Amino acid sequence: MFDEILHRTPQPDFETFASVLTGKQQAKKVHLVELGIDPELMRIIYEQHWQKAWKQDTQSLVLQKIEFYYRMGYDTLRFANAFVNLPQFLADRAQDTAPLSHGVRTWVKEDDGLIHNWDEFKAIPWDQIQVDRACFQLYAQNLPQGMKMMISYPFFEIVMQNWLGYQGLCLGLIQNPDLVAAVFEAWGNKVAEFYQTWIADPQVGGIFHSDDLGYKTATIISPKHLRKYVLPWFKKYADLAHQHGKVFFLHSCGNLGLVLPDLVQEIRIDALHSFQDQVMPVVEFKKRYPQVGALGGVDMDKLSRLAPEKLKEYLQQIVSECQRIGQFALGSGNSVTNYVPLENYLTMVQAAHDWSNL
C-alpha cells in the first residue's frame, strides 16, 4: 500500500503550483501543500519506508525535512527560521497525549507575556534580534531544482502570545493603547525586515504569512482593532511580495468572518490556508471566493480521527469540488501533527495522486 506515492520520481514545479493557485493556469494535477509536518511522522516514513537513518542534529533535521517534502511530492516548503537572539518566550509544558508523543508538549503561556510596561518594552534589545542568515543558506543550498521556499513568520500572534500575553494585549488595548501600538510597531518592523531580506532571492517563491486571527466563532480582537494595528502590516507584507512578482499566502486559523473581505479585497491575499469544518469548510470558502486560492482544507479533527475508508470519502468530496472550481492545493487544515495517524496522512497524499491520474 502507498508504494506509488512513497517511491515516486518527484518533479517539483513551484512556478506551476503558484500559477494554479493564482488562477493563471488550470491544474493538471492535485497539488499538495503543508504549513508544517511534525518530525515524528516524517521520521517513521524516513526510517520504515525509505530505510534511512533519522538524525537529530539541527542541520540533519533541515536536510531531512527538505528531502521529505521533495520525495512526498510537494512543490514548496515553509522557511520560518527567521531570527537569531530572540528572547526566551514564556512557555507551559504538559505531557503530550499524542500517539507519536513528543514526550512533553510545549504550550504558549496564555496568562502572561514579557512586556508589561514601558520600562520592559525599552529593555528589550530589539536591535540584537536579527535575521538568521545561516539557516536560510542551509535551506537555499539544499533545495532541489524546481522547489521554492515560502518565507513565513507570525506578527500578530507573537505580539499577542509572547510579547504582551493574551491578557496583556487585551487589557492593554483598552488601558494602555500607546504601549500596545509601540509593540506592534516594533514587531511589525522586525517581521518586515525578515521578509525584505529574502523576498528577492530566486529560491523564494513568496510569503506564506502565518498569523492566527480568530477562534471558533469570532476574531480574537475586534475588526476595529485588527484594522488599526494588524491589517496595515499584512498589507505591507502582501505589497512587498506582489512588488517582487511573488505570491502572498496567508495562514490564519479560526473564524475570520468579519475581516475576510478585508483580506481578499484590500490585502489581496493570493490564497488562504487553515480551514476547520466547524468554522468554514474549504468547499464553502471556494464557492464564496472562487478567485482566491485555497490551501489545505482537510479538517484536523477528521484527519486525526476518521477511519481511512471514511476519510477517503471525505477527501473525495473536497478534492472533486475544489478542483472543479480551481485554485486549490490539498493538505491538512492546519498541519500534519503527531496525532494524525500515518495511514491517514498517506491516505490524503494518495487521494491527490489518484485524482491526478484519473
Partner 1 sequence: MNKVLEQLQNTIVEFDLDNVADVMNKTILAIPDPLQILNQALLPAMNIVGQRFNDQEYFLPELLAAATAMNQAMEILKPHLQKVPSSGPKCKIVIGSVWGDMHDIGKNIVKILLQAANVEVIDLGKNVPPEKFVQTIQEHNPQFLGLSALLTTTMLEMKSVIQALVQANLRSKVKILIGGAPVTAEYAQEIHADYYCAQALDAVKIVQDALEK
Q: Which residues bind ligand B12 (CB under 6 A)?
A: 36, 105, 107-108, 110, 157, 212, 215-217, 253-254, 274, 276, 279, 300-301, 333-335, 337
Q: In 3D, which of 299, 211, 304, 307 has the Cα closest to residue 252? A: 211
Residue 307 is placed in which grid cell?
Answer: 477511519
User: Least separation, in Å, of the C-beta of 214 and partner 1?
Assistant: 10
CB of 300 to ligand B12, least distance (A): 3
Q: Does 171 bind partner 1 (CB under 8 A)?
A: yes
* Helical (H) or strand (E) element with 317: helix 308-325
Q: Could you tell me which of 319, 340, 338 has the C-alpha nearest to residue 32?
A: 319
Q: Is 92 in the site for partner 1 (CB under 8 A)?
A: yes
Q: Are strands 104-108 and 91-95 parallel, antiparallel or unpaired?
A: antiparallel
Count other Cβ atoms within 10 Å, centred on residue 47: 12
Which stretch in 131-139, 283-291, 312-320, 336-344 sits in contact with partner 1 by CB under 8 A? 336-344
Residues in 177-216 that interact with partner 1 by CB under 8 A: 215-216
CA quadruple 104, 106, 107, 111: dihedral sign: positive
Least spacing, CB of residue 92 vs partner 1, in Å: 4
The option from partner 1, ligand B12, none interacting with 259 (CB < 5 to 8 A, set by class) reads none
Cβ neighbours of residue 342 closer than 8 Å, sequence gap 6 or more: 41, 44, 45
Q: From the list partner 1, ligand B12, none, pick the one residue 335 interacts with, judged by a Cβ distance below 5 to 8 Å according to partner type.
A: ligand B12
As measured in angstroms, the least distance from the Cβ of 216 to ligand B12 is 4
**What DSSP assignment string belongs to 182-231?**
HHHHHHHHHHHHHHHHHTTSTTEEEEEEE---B-SSSBSS-HHHIIIIIH
Residues contributing to the site for partner 1 (CB under 8 A): 92-98, 105, 107, 110-111, 166-167, 169-171, 173-175, 215-222, 225, 257-258, 276, 278, 300-301, 304-305, 337-339
